[in-house]
């Protein structure tokens, strides 16, 4: 796989570093000035060059095209970029989950802070996906009782932040009073169990989403969010995304 080229480069660097180092029992510290006079190890450089070229070629592969630049700060409670990420997870994860577990996903919740870069106007490459999602986070589906979905709702209201969601509709007043909340097109049932796709980071309580930690039953998909984005971009010749009414202040 092309992605392993980076791992190969790092391994080679470590091996050469170990071979060139002298073993000593003494512990000592030395300041090494890193400047333009520091010469590269030509042996290492020549060895890794083919792998670097392969990696650069892989990262530059064109997947799609964006008509404009999108950032995670383009909207107040939902953004085009966040909506795209949540919808991509819903679209590509749902058939996998259905086939594997014979259950439908109800909604998706990701985190605003997990979006690490804008999606620039023009060609969308593999590198674009790596910049947006540089982490190794994987998708998990959590089985949650409605009472904890209520805690998730309260979290979103109190945060008043554009956390990416899909499969949910939420309207709130400026003071935070909820006026409308639908999940999978229906009103919340506190006694029902729902299946929410999210990241393993959030499932473990990241971004203080503690409501996920109260649910022990979850399902692994073995699908990194970054890989899903790459697959999603490849499916779209031209990306046309927008903010909408999935999470808004009511009039």
* 197 contacts 141 by C-beta, under 8 angstroms: yes
In a domain, 119, yes or no: yes
Question: How much is the pLDDT for 195?
Answer: 98
Q: Is residue 25 part of a domain?
A: no
User: For residue 16, what pLDDT is reported?
Assistant: 46
Give residue 239's domain range: 64-249
Residue 120 lies in a domain: yes
Whether 239 maps to a domain, the answer reads: yes
Q: How far is CA 91 from CA 63, 68, 77, 173, in A?
A: 18, 22, 21, 30
Q: Between the CA of residue 121 and those of 51, 127, 203, 239, what are the distances in Å?
A: 29, 14, 32, 10
* CATH code where residue 99 lies: 3.90.780.10
pLDDT at residue number 100: 95
Residue 89 included in any domain: yes
In a domain, 149, yes or no: yes
46 located within any domain = no
Domain count, the chain: 1
Residue 43 lies in a domain: no
Give the pLDDT of residue 44: 65
- At 19 the pLDDT is 46
- Walk along the chain (251 residues) in steps of 10 and give the mean pLDDT of each run: 47 46 46 58 63 64 96 96 98 97 97 97 96 96 96 95 97 92 96 97 95 92 97 95 95 76
């Amino acid at each position: 796989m092309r992605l392993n080229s980076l791992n190969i480069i790092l391994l080679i660097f470590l091996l050469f570093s170990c071979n060139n180092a002298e073993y000593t029992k003494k512990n000592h510290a030395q300041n090494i000035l890193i400047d333009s006079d520091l010469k590269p190890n030509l042996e290492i450089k020549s060895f890794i060059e083919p792998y670097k070229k392969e990696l650069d070629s892989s990262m530059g592969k064109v997947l799609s095209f964006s008509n404009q630049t999108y950032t995670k700060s383009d909207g107040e409670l939902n953004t085009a970029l966040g909506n795209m990420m949540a919808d991509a997870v819903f679209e590509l994860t749902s058939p996998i989950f259905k086939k594997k577990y014979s259950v439908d996903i109800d909604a998706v919740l990701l985190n605003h802070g997990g979006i690490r870069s804008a999606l620039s106007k023009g060609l969308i490459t593999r590198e674009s996906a790596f910049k947006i999602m540089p982490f190794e986070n994987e998708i998990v589906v959590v089985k949650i009782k409605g009472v904890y979905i209520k805690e998730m709702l309260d979290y979103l209201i109190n945060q008043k932040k554009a956390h990416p969601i899909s499969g949910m509709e939420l309207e709130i007043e400026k003071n935070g009073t909820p006026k409308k909340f639908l999940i999978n097109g229906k009103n919340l049932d506190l006694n029902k169990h729902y299946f929410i796709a999210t990241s393993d980071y959030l499932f473990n309580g990241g971004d203080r989403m503690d409501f996920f930690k109260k649910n022990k039953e979850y399902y692994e998909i073995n699908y990194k969010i970054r890989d899903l984005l790459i697959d999603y971009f490849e499916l779209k010749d031209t990306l046309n995304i927008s903010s909408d009414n999935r999470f808004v202040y009511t009039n």
